[in-house]
Amino acid sequence: MKKVTFYHAGCPVCVNAEQEFLNLIDSTKVQVDIIHLGEQKDKISNAENAGVQSVPALVLDNGNVLHINHGATIEEVKS
């Protein structure tokens, strides 16, 4: 099973992207970890280390980062 991580900050753009993404995937083939960086600030460094520059973003199991739309930069999430 593939594993991906969806990072977001809870803004309307992020929440919409999360819902749209979850509606598209087959949960029997892909495990999705949802990380709300606004609530889980301790995970910001994980997101940065993975290459996330803005949210919403999807980190694939091969290390590629897909930046989806633009809700907030990682710097904005930190503050």
Q: SS3 of 48, please?
A: helix
Tell me which fold the domain 2-78 belongs to.
Glutaredoxin (3.40.30)
Q: What is the dihedral of CA 53, 57, 62, 64, to 10 degrees?
A: -50
- Is a pLDDT exceeding 80 seen at residue 71? no
Each residue's pLDDT tens digit, 7-54: 999 888 888 889 999 999 999 999 999 999 999 999 999 999 999 999
pLDDT band at 69 (very low <50, low <70, confident <90, very high): confident
The full set of domain ranges for the chain reads 2-78
Residue 32: per-residue pLDDT: 95
Q: SS3 of 28, please?
A: coil
